[in-house]
Amino acid sequence: MPTTSFVFEPQAVSSLPVFDEAGRFPVARIFCVGRNYAEHAREMGHNPDAEPPFFFIKPVTALVTDGADFPYPAHSSNVHHEVELVVALGKGGSNIPENEALSHVYGYAVGLDMTRRDVQAAAKEAGRPWETGKAFDHSAPCSALVPASKIGHPQAGAISLTINGEPRQSGDLANMIWGIPATIAYLSTWFSLLPGDLIFTGTPAGVGAVQRGDLLVASVASVGELSVHVI
């Protein structure tokens, strides 16, 4: 069978390390759930009871892995941290029943949805898409994955973030408005999910600005910790 040729060398596959495994997890897409904790929805000026789940997408170039730094992005002076539980799918599908959703999960990680808040706010005001505020390069730092076969499927437990040792965000996974099975099931009615898709599941209250030189430490109980320097 002939080998496919390309007009230039394709980009390497984006991937995440897997805890205690030699192989890496190839990443297909990054979906993010908006306003999935009631107190965060309220701090952003929204009624958490008024809407179904909604999603936005980041490119794989948003990933920051293997202990790399987060470069403070251009075109913004108000970049915010958002700590999140990340769900990694090992099996895809469409219209996945909620009671089967967890069988599609390979594992979990700790992630940060970094946001150009001033750019996002200007886009909202102008009725424009959020990509420049949410989907910029390096906007999705992520820890190594921990397979569900090792830790099960977290439904409750602390999720938190500190900056330079000072607590900034603190919540519990049990306070998600849409749990992991419901999120996967609903998302699969809009997209044909793929093995390798990541789902950032939303952030608790307490989001705020970061500065160059800050050390962010994000953690999720039973999943792990993610340390990121802002440069």
CA-nearest of 204, 203, 209 to 164 is 209
Question: Does residue 2 form part of some domain?
Answer: no
Name the helix (H) or strand (E) containing 39.
helix 38-43
Is 10 a member of any domain?
no
Q: What is the pLDDT of residue 102?
A: 98
Which among 67, 86, 228 has a CA at the least distance from the CA of 145? 86
Task: Assess if residue 218 is contained within a domain.
Answer: yes
In a domain, 6, yes or no: no
Q: DSSP assignment of 99-132, as one string?
A: GGGGGGEEEEEEEE--EEHHHHHHHHHTT--SHH
In a domain, 103, yes or no: yes
Domain CATH number, residue 86? 3.90.850.10
Domain membership of residue 204 (yes or no) is yes
**Among 89, 97, 96, which residue's Cα sits nearest to residue 148?**
89
Count of residues making up the chain: 231
Q: Number of folded domains in the chain?
A: 1
Helix ranges (H only) for the chain are 38-43, 117-125, 131-134, 148-151, 180-187
Rounded Cα distance between 3 and 38, Å, is 52
Q: Sign of dihedral through CA atoms 118, 123, 82, 51?
A: positive
Q: Tokens representing 182? A: 């419901």
Tokens of 140: 């999705």
Give residue 50's pLDDT.
57
- Per residue of the chain (231 residues), what is the pLDDT tens digit? 678 899 999 999 999 999 999 999 999 999 999 889 877 556 655 566 657 888 999 999 999 999 999 999 999 999 999 999 999 999 999 999 999 999 999 999 999 999 999 999 999 899 999 899 999 999 999 999 999 999 999 999 999 999 999 999 999 999 999 999 999 999 999 999 999 999 999 999 899 999 999 999 999 999 999 999 999
Q: List phi, psi (to 5°) of 14.
A: -75, 140
**Structural domain that includes position 24:** 15-229
